[in-house]
Structure 1
Amino acid sequence: MELENEKIYKMLMIHINDSQARRLEEFLEYINIHNYAVESNVNRAVSEKVKQKQSKTWPGSSSAFFIPMKENKVDDLLVKLKTFRMALPKGIVMSLWIVPFDRVIKSFYEEDIPVDDVLLEELKEKFIK
């Protein structure tokens, strides 16, 4: 049973052909997923016969999407992602990794974490002149 204050997160890492990355980004916005990161030109191997390594032997590249979310929201997103994938041409490769992790910090500025005042003054001297 999940405690009320306990936060259990997952990181969804989606790999998709670079040619479809913009569509996936638009889809995420459409379904109100606004907290994600995208990395383009990613080399990957999905299986022995399916690879995208930007070479003559294995042409193409992928984009990797990183989406942090609470664990209890994952199953709903999986249904939506499968539905999105089924709307794409059959040859498009889209895969997903789901990885557990502890915490999401959207803004260090607003997070309740103490500041090392001595180090802060040193950094201000070094970086803010």
Structure 2
Amino acid sequence: MTSEAQTCITSAVVPDELRLNVLPRYLGRHYLTGESYVYDWAARLCRSYQGGLWHFFTLSNGGFYMAPADSGRVHVRWHLNGYSDMMGADAFGVTVTLFALCHLSEKTLDDSVIERYHQLREFASQHTEAANILRAID
């Protein structure tokens, strides 16, 4: 194994009783804005999005993301880069959280939010639907 080999980043769902601490821990004082951005981006990227329960995930590299609890596939479309395709709920969650973190980092210029974006982007590149996620955020 070379030093350039990529370390496998794992995700773990946050138990319901620990959910309240997730966003303040990862987004600090921006947690309410960050959460609203996730739901807003979900609606922007998926016309059929109607809200619902979301799971929170922590990443072994220190990052996090949110994903809809519904495990179905959704149609995702982003007109600014021409992306239009189906993806699973977990990949959709990663995609939406990346858009939200990018938006939040532009608004706040907070280094910790920028770090969260890069941690999730690193995980996204290893996701089973990496090609789809990366095309959507390009």
Structure number having the greater strand percentage:
1
Which one scores higher on RCO, CA 8 angstroms, separation ≥ 6?
1
Which of the two has higher C-alpha Rg? 1
Fold shared per TM-score above 0.5 = no
TM-score bracket, normalised by the shorter chain, equals 0.3 to 0.5
Q: TM-score, normalization: structure 1?
A: 0.33
